[in-house]
């Protein structure tokens, strides 16, 4: 019989990488090829197959993926791009790289993703594109977003940094819109340490992205130092240095093969959390929408603040004191100094996002979480709720409404 381990702390994240990844990376290092090359192209082919996309282009970060996709979509100075305020700054920052203006949109309280109706209200003649962000892996309302884009001639660039593998109406995220951008940052569901991928259905855009990720020099420039390559190259554009290395790609290939299994593991943890918390009226568990599958990159719990004496920050502090790592996804961009100073946003502008922000926290969820760790998180959350519960019989309000 296996012995029960006494758990007294759980990190927010532990990467699911091991010997297999180390072996694959070592092989590339021993091969002597240190930058982008055959492994990266293999990773691109396998990734495209996995999500069902026509083209996949590997890049150095998810932020670079967004930058290149927006560039290929023709976003430029004076354009406006719609995106949710509840996202990481990279989503909006990439828009600013091109001299365009991020237009922050409020969120749908149920999914915490971009609200298509609020987006529609913010369309102007300058609006060029929309970036739906699948927060925590929960797919956005893609049909409504496609309808909005169609009616207003907008390009769609999905921010799928959290959405590998997620599905919307039976289709993997990565094959639905013209452009989808993934991140392979250290905490993501597939990691190469740092890295990213763009999938697209547009062959001309795929060529443009390949060109721009490596200095704007033509196709075979990556092998100009190989014996079968040529030293001569032509610079066609002022591009960027955004390529992924072969050792990162070797790691990505191993991770890709484990992707379904890792998702299953996260789903089981999410189910255990939700079963344990569903009966607690003080908590709101993440919604599972029947025609969608989330990657469960994040497990976002929300607090009914009228039923608890602790606010979100104090609730997190209580879990931290028990050794549990938590996070918050995300501080809405319109509350950040840069977006307030440069774009003129202020507190109160996007009320749904603010309400959810004040109520939400993300719990640890990673594939090799041990049984005891899951139980410890559940016990600690229950214990914090029990100690801070406001006993009332007359409350019916919810932070979701
Ligand atoms: C929603 C979202 N978009 C974009 C990014 C940027 O990805 P990267 O860190 O790979 O540049 C992140 C990364 O953390 C993210 O969470």
pLDDT digits (tens, 9 = 90+) for 163-176: 999 999 999 999 99
Site to substitute for ligand 1 among 69, 86, 112, 161, most atoms within 8 A of C-beta:
161
Q: Retrieve residue 251's tokens.
A: 């790691």
Task: Quote the ligand 1 centre to 184 CA distance (angstroms).
Answer: 8
> Quick one: pLDDT at residue 366?
98
pLDDT band at 398 (very low <50, low <70, confident <90, very high): low
Q: How many helices (H) and strands (E) does the chain have?
A: 12, 13
Residue 124 has pLDDT above 90, yes or no: yes
Give yes or no for residue 328 having a pLDDT over 60.
Answer: yes
What average pLDDT score do residues 297-304 get?
Answer: 98
Closest CA to 287 of 343, 226, 360: 360
Q: What is the pLDDT of residues 216-228, one digit of tens each?
A: 998 777 777 777 7
pLDDT of residue 315: 98
DSSP assignment of 237-306, as one string?
S---B-PPPHHHHHHHHHHHHHHHHHHHHHHHHHHHHHHHHTT-TTEEPPPPPTTEE---S-EEEEE-GG
Q: Taking all residues of the chain, what is their mean pLDDT, rounded to a whole number?
A: 95
pLDDT band at 401 (very low <50, low <70, confident <90, very high): very low
**Is the pLDDT assigned to residue 394 strictly greater than 60?**
no
Q: CA 257 to CA 49: how far, in whole Å?
A: 12
| Annotation marks residue 188 as catalytic | yes
pLDDT exceeds 70 at position 209: yes
* Span 230-284, pLDDT tens digits: 888 899 999 999 999 999 999 999 999 999 999 999 999 999 999 999 999 999 9
Report the phi/psi class of residue 386: left, alpha or beta, with left for phi > 0 and alpha for psi in -120 to 50: alpha
| Nearest alpha carbon to residue 372 among 16, 1, 14, 10 | 10
Q: Determine if ligand 1 sits within 6 Å of the CB of residue 183.
A: yes
Compute the distance from residue 381 Cα to the ligand 1 centre, in Å. 28
pLDDT more than 70, % of the chain:
97
Model confidence at 214: pLDDT above 60: yes
Of 86, 88, 300, which is best to mutate to test ligand 1, by the most ligand atoms within 8 angstroms of its C-beta?
Answer: 88
**Cβ contact 63:249 at 8 Å:** no
Residue 92 CA to ligand 1 centre (angstroms)? 11
Q: Is the CB of 161 under 6 A from ligand 1?
A: yes
Residue 21 has pLDDT above 90, yes or no: yes
């Amino acid at each position: 019989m296996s012995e029960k381990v006494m758990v007294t702390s759980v990190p927010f994240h532990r990467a699911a990488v091991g010997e297999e990844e180390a072996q694959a990376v070592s092989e590339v290092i021993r091969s002597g090829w240190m930058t982008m090359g055959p492994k990266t192209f293999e990773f691109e082919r396998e990734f495209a197959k996995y999500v069902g996309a026509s083209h996949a282009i590997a890049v150095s970060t998810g932020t670079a993926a967004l930058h290149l996709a927006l560039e290929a979509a023709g976003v430029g100075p004076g354009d406006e791009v719609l995106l949710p305020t509840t996202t990481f700054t990279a989503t909006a920052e990439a828009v600013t790289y091109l001299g365009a203006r991020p237009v922050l949109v409020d969120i749908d309280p149920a999914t915490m993703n971009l609200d298509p109706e609020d987006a529609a209200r913010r369309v102007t003649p300058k609006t060029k594109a929309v970036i739906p962000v699948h927060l925590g892996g929960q797919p956005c309302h893609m049909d409504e977003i496609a309808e909005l884009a169609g009616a207003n001639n907008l390009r769609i660039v999905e921010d799928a940094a959290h959405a590998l593998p997620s599905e919307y109406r039976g289709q993997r995220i990565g094959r639905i819109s013209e452009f989808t951008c993934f991140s392979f940052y250290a905490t993501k569901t597939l990691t190469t340490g740092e890295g990213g991928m763009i999938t697209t259905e547009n062959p001309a855009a795929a060529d443009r992205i390949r060109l721009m990720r490596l200095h704007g020099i033509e196709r075979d420039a990556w092998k100009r130092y190989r014996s079968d390559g040529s030293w001569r190259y032509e610079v066609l554009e002022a591009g960027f240095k955004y390529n992924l290395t072969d050792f990162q790609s070797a790691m990505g290939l191993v991770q890709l093969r484990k992707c379904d299994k890792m998702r299953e593991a996260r789903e089981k943890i999410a189910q255990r959390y939700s079963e344990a918390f569903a009966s607690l009226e003080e908590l709101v568990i993440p919604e599972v929408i029947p025609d969608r599958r989330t990657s469960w990159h994040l497990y976002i719990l929300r607090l009914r603040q009228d039923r608890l004496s602790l606010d979100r920050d104090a609730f997190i502090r209580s879990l931290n004191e028990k050794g549990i790592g938590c996070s918050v996804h995300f501080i809405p961009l319109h509350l950040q100094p840069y977006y307030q100073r440069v774009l003129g946003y202020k507190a109160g502008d996007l009320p749904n996002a603010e309400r959810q922000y004040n109520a939400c926290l993300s719990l640890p969820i990673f594939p090799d979480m041990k049984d005891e760790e899951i139980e410890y998180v559940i016990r600690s959350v229950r214990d914090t709720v029990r100690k801070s519960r406001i006993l009332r019989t007359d409350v019916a309000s919810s932070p979701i409404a």
